[in-house]
Amino acid sequence: MDTLTHGLLGALLGRVTAPRKSPQSAESLPVGRRMLVGFLAAAFPDIDFISSYVSPLSYLYHHRGITHSLILLPMWAALLAVVFSLVWRSKPRWPAYFGIAALAIGSHILTDWITSFGTMVFAPLSDARYGIGTTFIIDLWFTGIILLGLLASLVWRESRRPAAVGLTALAAYVGFQWLLQQQAIDFGAAYARSNGISPVHVSAVPRPVSPFNWTVVVQHDDAYRYAHINLIRTRTRPEPNAATGFIARLNAPYRPLGDAAWARASLNGSDTASSALVHEAYAQPGFRFFRWFAAYPALLRIDAGNPEQCVWFRDLRFETPGRDGTPFLYGMCREGDRPWQPFQLLGEQRRPVY
């Protein structure tokens, strides 16, 4: 989830957990301050973005890592509580900030867990990424529900009910997305059965603009069949052109179920020789980071120069039609008999990975 949405949710949690009346105790937080603390604490875990300035791979290894850990959550909450108590030098003391800071950080972890990027909730004990993938990483409907809850809280300042209603609606929306995800998975499973594809694993990845937009991935052996679908659309949208707006361009590629266009991808080349080259490059120790990170690794292309060769890979999780470019494209290159070296592909430019 984007950092702003995390912060707004933290503010909403600050409001819904505030005392019913203006606090009289010196150890209680005023409502406004409580909401600000919730906003800042909920945004805090994304401070790990600074790892991207360390090295090209640092972002992959550390984003949604220790700052997103359930194990380390109490430590981060205590640290922020002390910082907040120092910023507001007058009372209350740091324990008054701890509860809302912990709740806000927890909401950040939870709302990253529902996306498909994956979150290392048990870092540093485990680098396994977990995510249920019900919600796209930037979901305007999700953010809009939070904003409506905050605006209603401004109108009815003395009541916690608007914030509570907003949180209830948000939970209901995510539950609705889960049901849609199951519908998309069922569609993929029916496609696999009708085409005699087995063994098979079917999943559905959320896409932008609409909760009805999904990419269904049917995995069998080391190959994939995937389709970009809209669960309620009845007709295929026209192809975007130069005059098509940004939102419409992102929304157009998702087809009705009856007109789904299935594409294929795999980790194999077009022939025996190219497949051997692909598997050699993919299995290199220096490419471990991509094997760990990618959920649906697939061959992008082979650049067979003379004497240099490059084999490029993609993760279907991040292939979003209508978007300019695909992130997280990596590959292995070698010149002649020299060792393979990892690179990242940015447009048509490449940069070393270290």
8 A C-beta contact, residue 126 and residue 141: no
Does 255 map to a domain?
yes
Instruction: Say if residue 258 is in the same domain as residue 290.
Output: no
- β pairing state of 330-335 and 263-266: unpaired
8 A C-beta contact, residue 98 and residue 35: no
Does 22 map to a domain?
yes
- Residue 235: its pLDDT value, please? 94
pLDDT tens per residue across span 98-118: 999 999 999 999 999 999 888
Alpha helices (H) in 88-160, listed in sequence order: 95-113, 140-155
pLDDT tens per residue across span 52-79: 888 878 888 889 999 999 999 999 999 9
Instruction: Say if residue 24 is in the same domain as residue 125.
Output: yes
Whether the bond between 124 and the residue before it is cis, its omega within 30 degrees of 0, is: yes
Range of the domain at 319: 272-352
* Partners of residue 263 on adjacent β-strands: 226
DSSP code for 106: H
- β pairing state of 349-352 and 341-346: antiparallel
pLDDT tens per residue across span 276-306: 999 999 999 999 999 999 999 999 999 987 7
- Residue 307: its pLDDT value, please? 80
Instruction: Say if residue 117 is in the same domain as residue 237.
Output: no
Does 330 map to a domain?
yes
Residue that wins the pLDDT comparison between 59 and 227: 227
Q: Mean pLDDT check: name the lowest of 63-72, 242-251, 284-293, 327-336.
A: 242-251
Question: Which residue, 266, 296, 314, sits at the end of a domain?
Answer: 266
- Residue 26: its pLDDT value, please? 57
Instruction: Say if residue 81 is in the same domain as residue 201.
Output: no
Instruction: Say if residue 261 is in the same domain as residue 279.
Output: no
Does 157 map to a domain?
no
8 A C-beta contact, residue 280 and residue 272: no
In the numeric block, which tokens belong to residue 122? 């048990």
Q: For residues 165, 171, 175 and 180, what is the CA-based torsion angle, rounded to 10 degrees?
A: 80
Read off the pLDDT band of 310 (50, 70, 90): very high
- Residue 151: its pLDDT value, please? 97
Has residue 23 got a pLDDT over 60? no
Count of domains in the chain? Answer: 3
In the numeric block, which tokens belong to residue 114? 């529902």
- Residue 21: its pLDDT value, please? 64
Does 300 map to a domain?
yes
Residue that wins the pLDDT comparison between 220 and 23: 220
Does 141 map to a domain?
no
Does 175 map to a domain?
no
8 A C-beta contact, residue 136 and residue 207: yes
Has residue 27 got a pLDDT over 80? no
- Residue 25: its pLDDT value, please? 60
Question: Which residue, 231, 249, 266, sits at the end of a domain?
Answer: 266
